[in-house]
Amino acid sequence: MKPVYSLIIVLLMLVVGGVIVMQGDPEEKVGLSGVMELVGDAQRTALKPAMMATRVSAAEEMELGRRLAGYMSFGGGRNSDSEEIKKTEAYIKRLGSSLLGSLSRKEIKYEFHLINAEMVNAFAMPGGQIFVFKGLVDFVESEAEFASIIGHEITHVDARHCIESFQAEMAAEKVAGTILGNDRWLAGMAMRYASRIIQGGYRQYQEFEADARGLKFSTDAGYDPSAAEKVMQRLGEKYKDEKKTKKASDPVAELHNAVKTAAGSYFRSHPPTSDRVERLRRQASQYTGNQKFYIGRENLKQRLTRKQREISEEFTLPR
Amino acid sequence: MGELFIISIIGAIVVAPLVFLVWTISSIVRLNNRLSAQEAEIGSLQERSTRLQSALRRLERSGESPAAVTHEHEHVAVRRDEVRERPSPATVIDAQLPPVPVTARVARYDNAVSENAPADNEIVDSHPVNTRFNEIEQRSYGNADPGQTVHQRPLRESSASRPDRSSSQGSTDWNSMDFESLIGGNLMNKAGAFLLVIGLALFLNYSFASLGPWAKLASGAVFSILLLAWGVFLERRNGGNLMSVGLIGSGWSCLYLTAFSAHGVTATRVIESPMAGMSLMIVVAAGMIAHSLRYRSEMATGLAFIFAFAALFVAEVSLFSEVAAVIMAISMLGISWYFDWHQLAAAGLILTYGSMLARLHWNAPPARLGPIDRIMFIQSLLAVLWTTYELVGMSFMRRNPASEEITRFLFPMNFFAYLVASLLTWPMVKETPVYYLAGLIMAQYILTGLARGIWCSNPGEAAVEKARLFMGSCEDSLVIASGALCYGIWYLLPAPVVVIGWAVTGLILIEIAYRLPWQLMRFIGHLIVTIAFFRVFIANLDIAGASGGISHRLLTVVPVIFMMLHLYFRTNSELSWEASPTGGTRQFAPAYSYFAVVLAGALVRFEFGPGLTPPVLAVAAVIMTGLGQKFKNWHFRRQGLYLALVAAGYGIANDWHCDSINPVLASPWTIGIITVACLYVCRWLAGKDEMPSADSLLSGMDAFRPHALSLAGSIGLAFLLYIQISGGFLTLAWSLLGMGLLAAGFACKDRLLRFSGLGLVLLCIVKVFLYDARELEAPLRILAFMALGATMIAISWAYTRYKDKIEELLK
């Protein structure tokens, strides 16, 4: 092909692409988040052999998880006299168990706990220890929303995110045990900080992965795929974690801002909520067709899972 | 006004020693120049005398009357003696005392020599003796064009013929006398003039508290006229020495300041109309400059302008003072253009923009104007200055196209000064759309670029020069205009579309530059395209949004990838930098192919998500390897290898996992098998390549390409089994895979494949004893041991049974 023809074709492609994008109200997002994600991928790939070499067995992981859970001093359902708390904890356990159908690591035994505190949060520990704050149960509006959050926490265990942050520390303590004896915790602590720095590059990737797989866990169990996006949006509005940045005065200032924010975001464990909402929306949009999904607003109120009481009005078609 | 006083005092304290130092250096240089000029003139006259004698002899031999020549020979001899007896430069100061007529004439002549070296030559050339001599010389040598001889400059004497300065009469006391008179006469004179101006400024503004404005102005005017008159008197009496020039300069400066004060200084304002005030200043400035021009001295005129600028500098900033500065700059440029005084033009540029910037930022800008009016006002002044300098620069270039010295200095300096001054001016008002400025600069430089292209006729310069930077050509102007355009694109377009705008700009610049050919523009085009490549990573990859079901990421990045491929083929068809007379850019071609591949890889990662990235990259690797073979292009082949390795690594890091809602795609088996299969296809294609000669590190590494692909495929497959099969079945699966790899290694004559198979079997042995024996339950443990044992026996049997065939295969 003559250069002039290829030039014309390329120019046309550029102009047409640009015009179409301008018609669609494009997102004005400038930053190094994309680059950081690629760097995180590279770090994750490079650390894979180390993670493989220091892997612990499921039994060891569950033992660690139980030990760590024992340190938690939150007032849970089992220690509460309140019927409501007990009922809620039982509800969480039933709902959580219903989401374990498509696990990768079936040898892990999951345990779900309720923390009697108003904080709107949930977290996971190695070996399948999942903790949910009562504030979160009050915050969500349907069982589908709740399922997506519990699915997110299950993924952190299933995809080894939780145990990987302990693996290096445990391996260091094992290796140093023969030399340092009782002081081997020093080596473990040093390795903990080192691994936090190294793994900081892909913590946000792990959150995206947990969102995606969590949504899959909940939809595989029949829950509405758009619920995850809705609850995430409301969480973002509640905590307002993002500042709207003003347009820079020139391209150099723009790059400077991007570098500045990227350096700060390296150690940020969770990605910006808007990004998470966008990705969840994109993933949920893949669910099309006539399959109906369950919402479960009434189930949440009554603390009865779908398996206990299925309400026909709670079914909906995907958006 | 208190600030003005402090500034004046500080200015006097700081600037006076600096001026003193500068004048000291310049005076020493000038003294040296004058000595050289004298020596050159003596040498020239000696030479001409010798040649005249020989011409005389020739004429005598040919029978012509030698009377006229003899007469002129005598003139030359007298002239030579006059120059020899001329007093040293330092003693010129003493010419204020009643001198003998000859000395006065020599002093006047000497002044002209010292102020302007070319004037010296002109005087020598136009001297009747020289003209006549040239005619005679031409006639005797048979040259028929007397016009040329008139403009012929005298030959500089050789160092051998230069008279020994140490042996000349009176040289013992010359140095001490010279230094003394330099300090006492020359420098004191100039420093005094400068201090007089400062003093008058202070005098007008502060000391006359009791006088009315008219009285202040009248006293200033009288004082100025007295200085002027004294200087003119001394000049007429003594023939124009440094003392008189200094007094005249001071007088004019003071007069200019007085005229300026008539409107520009509040305390002495008697003229309310800005137009009238400005007209008065123009009249005085014109007089001052006209008077300085009488001496045809670049330095004297420059000094007059410096004084005038200094007078403006100490005044408060107003619309009036800024307009006055611009008028001054224009007049300065007009003079420098008329007399071809490049240094004056360059100094004027620095002086004008510098004083304007300093005044605008040290003092408050005109307060009466509103924010937008203020910007418009200052920008208009800057635009007028810029236009003037551009015109002068162009006319210098047109006058002397070969010159690349001071005339070419004007172009970049004018651009940078104008840009900096404008950028400092525009943010004075918040939320000012700076892209207006970018648009203005773009329009200005497109116009001046066209003007330079038509008027200066220098677009073809690049054809003979590989590296030219900012010399003031049409190309340079258009490059600046394209820079401003890029800024405007960045400001006006949405963030994801900026890349498209920059890519189009860069592409068009490169294409224009190919055709003309313009080297700088070509490089700038490549630079813009490269910046666009990097911008994709910060503004286009991690974005949401779609139009018509196609993501904005895809709509913006795919055309850029195609552009990179176009540029690859475009630059690859060029000559290299060394081979091309205009500096080819073939070296850039590989970079563009890698840009395209990197962008495509990143696009796949963000568009398909982490799960689907490995198989898509693996398919891309097969395509690149195939293209590499088709076009016999090692860059493509290497890119195929890199894509394959990234696909394998990425898949392993993700545990071959995919989050697709499609159950087939979501299975690690699908992702893993597609990727590994592509890796083996690449390996098969790579095996068909002829091995490159290992003349470089990269070429040496190319030899390992098939092995790397084979190893990556085997590791990926083994890892897939590890992920999907657990416990004792894993040992069985790995054993079978080891056997398969071994067999394939024999079939493909691939030693690394065979080693991979054997390595996997050995790994199974280790696993059986270290893990299976301890961790597995009894049935699985038994299965593991039995499977491994059977596999090893099978391998051994195969080696024994097919020994001959294997040996044949290994040959």
Nearest to A41 among B496, B563, B650 (CB): B650
Q: Which of B430, B486, B543 to mutate to test the interface with A (most CBs of A within 10 A)?
A: B543
**Mean pLDDT throughout B553-582?**
88
Q: Which helix (H) or strand (E) holds B41?
A: helix B2-62
Q: Which residues in chain B are closer than 8 Å to A275, comparing Cβ atoms? A: 542, 544
Interchain CB distance below 8 Å, B610 and A41: yes
The yes-or-no verdict on residue B21 having pLDDT over 50 is no
- Beta strand B550-551 pairing with A293-294: unpaired
Nearest to residue B82, comparing CAs of B52, B112, B45, B50? Answer: B45
Q: Which residues in chain B are closer than 8 Å to A21, comparing Cβ atoms? A: 494, 496-497, 500, 545, 547, 552, 555-556
Instruction: Compute the distance between CA of residue B26 and CA of residue B122 in angstroms, rounded to an integer.
Output: 23
Q: Which residues in chain B are closer than 8 Å to A35, comparing Cβ atoms? A: 537-538
Nearest to A45 among B487, B495, B649 (CB): B649
pLDDT at B111: 41
At residue A125 the predicted structure's pLDDT band, cuts being 50, 70 and 90, is very high
Nearest-Cα residue of chain B relative to residue A16: B555
The yes-or-no verdict on residue B91 having pLDDT over 60 is no
Interchain CB distance below 8 Å, B555 and A17: yes
Q: Does B239 touch chain A (CB under 8 A)?
A: no
Instruction: Compute the distance between CA of residue B687 and CA of residue B744 in angstroms, rounded to an integer.
Output: 14
Write the DSSP string, B181-248. Answer: HIIIIIIHHHHHHHHHHHHHHHIIIIITTTS-HHHHHHHHHHHHHHHHHHHHHHHHHHTS-HHHHHHH
| pLDDT tens, position by position, A167-188 | 888 887 777 777 777 777 777 7
pLDDT at B533: 96
Does residue A243 lie in a domain region?
A: yes
Nearest-Cα residue of chain A relative to residue B551: A21
**What part of B 482-521 touches A (C-beta under 8 Å)?**
487, 490, 493-497, 500-501, 503-504, 507-508, 511
Residues 6+ apart with CB under 8 A from A51: A160, A164, A167
Torsion of CA B764, B770, B772, B776, to 10 degrees: -160
**What part of B 653-682 touches A (C-beta under 8 Å)?**
653, 655, 657, 659-661
Does residue A72 lie in a domain region?
A: yes
**Mean pLDDT throughout A46-74?**
85
Q: Does B566 touch chain A (CB under 8 A)?
A: yes
Interchain CB distance below 8 Å, B659 and A17: no
Whether B287 and B279 have beta carbons less than 8 Å apart is answered as no
For chains A and B, CB pairs below 8 A equal 154
Nearest to A21 among B503, B555, B569 (CB): B555
**What part of B 604-633 touches A (C-beta under 8 Å)?**
605-606, 609-610
Nearest to A20 among B490, B555, B573 (CB): B555
| pLDDT tens, position by position, B460-483 | 454 445 556 667 778 888 889 999
What are A293's strand-pairing partners?
Answer: A316
pLDDT at B728: 66
Interchain CB distance below 8 Å, A21 and B496: yes
Interchain CB distance below 8 Å, B653 and A219: no
pLDDT at B694: 59
Does residue A20 lie in a domain region?
A: no
Q: Which amino acid is at B192?
A: G
Average pLDDT, chain B: 74
Cα separations in angstroms, B71 against B41, B53, B67, B68, B254:
20, 11, 6, 5, 51
**Mean pLDDT throughout A159-173?**
84
Interchain CB distance below 8 Å, B503 and A278: no
At residue B620 the predicted structure's pLDDT band, cuts being 50, 70 and 90, is very high
Please give the backbone phi and psi of residue B567, each rounded to the nearest 5 degrees, phi first: -65, -30
| pLDDT tens, position by position, A226-238 | 999 999 999 888 8
Residue ranges of domains in chain B: 2-157, 585-724, 727-811
Instruction: Compute the distance between CA of residue B74 and CA of residue B82 in angstroms, rounded to an integer.
Output: 12
The yes-or-no verdict on residue B581 having pLDDT over 80 is no
pLDDT at B530: 95
Nearest-Cα residue of chain B relative to residue A211: B659
What are B435's strand-pairing partners?
Answer: none
Nearest-Cα residue of chain B relative to residue A47: B653
At residue A156 the predicted structure's pLDDT band, cuts being 50, 70 and 90, is very high
Interchain CB distance below 8 Å, A24 and B649: no
The yes-or-no verdict on residue A154 having pLDDT over 90 is yes
pLDDT at B412: 86
Q: Which residues in A144-217 belong to E strands, given as ranges?
A: none
The yes-or-no verdict on residue A257 having pLDDT over 80 is yes
How close, in Å, is residue A47 to chain B by CA atoms? 8
Interchain CB distance below 8 Å, B500 and A15: yes
Nearest to B507 among A11, A37, A41 (CB): A11
- What is the biggest distance separating any 2 CA atoms in chain A, rounded to whole angstroms? 83
Whether B318 and B264 have beta carbons less than 8 Å apart is answered as yes
Structural domains in chain A (count): 1
How close, in Å, is residue A74 to chain B by CA atoms? 34
Write the DSSP string, A201-241. Answer: GGHHHHHHHHHHHHHHHHHHTTB-THHHHHHHHHHHHHH--
Q: For the ranges B192-206, B487-501, B515-529, B732-746, which has the lowest average pLDDT?
A: B192-206
The yes-or-no verdict on residue A150 having pLDDT over 50 is yes
Does residue A286 lie in a domain region?
A: yes
Q: Which of A2, A14, A23 to mutate to test the interface with B (most CBs of B within 10 A)?
A: A14
pLDDT at B388: 84
**What part of B 756-775 touches A (C-beta under 8 Å)?**
775
Interchain CB distance below 8 Å, A34 and B538: yes
| Residue in this structure with the two tokens 């508290």, named with its chain if needed | B209
Nearest to B500 among A14, A33, A35 (CB): A14
Q: Which residues in chain B are closer than 8 Å to A31, comparing Cβ atoms? A: 538, 542
Q: Which domain holds residue A243?
A: 47-316
Q: Which amino acid is at B484?
A: A
Rg for chain A, CA atoms, rounded: 23
Interchain CB distance below 8 Å, A26 and B494: yes
| pLDDT tens, position by position, B370-420 | 667 777 777 887 888 888 888 888 888 777 766 666 566 788 888 988 988
Q: What percent of chain B has pLDDT over 70?
A: 67
Q: Which residues in chain B are closer than 8 Å to A26, comparing Cβ atoms? A: 494-497, 543, 545, 552
Neighbours of B240 (CB within 10 A): 22
Q: Which of A9, A19, A21, A51 to mutate to test the interface with B (most CBs of B within 10 A)?
A: A21
Residues 6+ apart with CB under 8 A from B343: B298, B302, B406
Interchain CB distance below 8 Å, B538 and A283: no
Nearest-Cα residue of chain B relative to residue A107: B726
How close, in Å, is residue B753 to chain A by CA atoms? 21
The residue among B126 and A6 whose pLDDT is bigger is A6
Q: Does B290 touch chain A (CB under 8 A)?
A: no
How close, in Å, is residue A235 to chain B by CA atoms? 20
Q: Which residues in chain A are closer than 8 Å to B657, comparing Cβ atoms? A: 104, 159
Structure tokens at B560: 């850029």
Interchain CB distance below 8 Å, B547 and A24: yes
Instruction: Compute the distance between CA of residue B316 and CA of residue B322 in angstroms, rounded to an integer.
Output: 10
| Residue in this structure with the two tokens 């004007």, named with its chain if needed | B410
Q: Which residues in chain A are closer than 8 Å to B659, comparing Cβ atoms? A: 209, 212-213, 216, 283
At residue B105 the predicted structure's pLDDT band, cuts being 50, 70 and 90, is very low
Nearest-Cα residue of chain A relative to residue B648: A45
| pLDDT tens, position by position, B231-284 | 888 888 876 666 777 788 778 878 877 888 888 777 788 888 777 777 787 788
| pLDDT tens, position by position, B689-743 | 776 665 666 667 788 888 899 999 999 999 999 888 876 688 888 888 988 888 8
pTM: 0.71
